[in-house]
Amino acid sequence: IYTVRILNQGSAAATNIGLTVVLPDLVKITAANDPSRRPPRQDMQRLVFAPVATLAGGAEATFTVTVQG
């Protein structure tokens, strides 16, 4: 399981935070989760997650990708 945490270290809200993950060819993506609870768009080994609309200052967004292999 890969976990990516995005932390807004500022005091103001951040908007439209995007995340794209590219995984090695040797693994198979079996699941992916993000704060929006919508499935990411997958193109081969590349996952494009829905943008986080707003992330408050000091807040964190967590994304996970489960792989096999």
pLDDT of residue 57: 98
Name the pLDDT band for 68 (thresholds 50, 70, 90).
Answer: very high
Question: CB–CB of 35/61 below 8 Å?
Answer: yes
pLDDT of residue 38: 87
Question: CB–CB of 27/68 below 8 Å?
Answer: yes
Give bridge partners of residue 7 from the DSSP assignment: 60
**pTM attached to this predicted model:** 0.88
For the cut 90, the answer to whether the pLDDT of residue 4 exceeds it is yes
Closest to 12 measured CA to CA, from 58, 51, 45: 58
The predicted-structure confidence for 9-57, as pLDDT tens digits, reads as follows 999 999 999 999 999 999 999 999 999 888 899 999 999 999 999 999 9
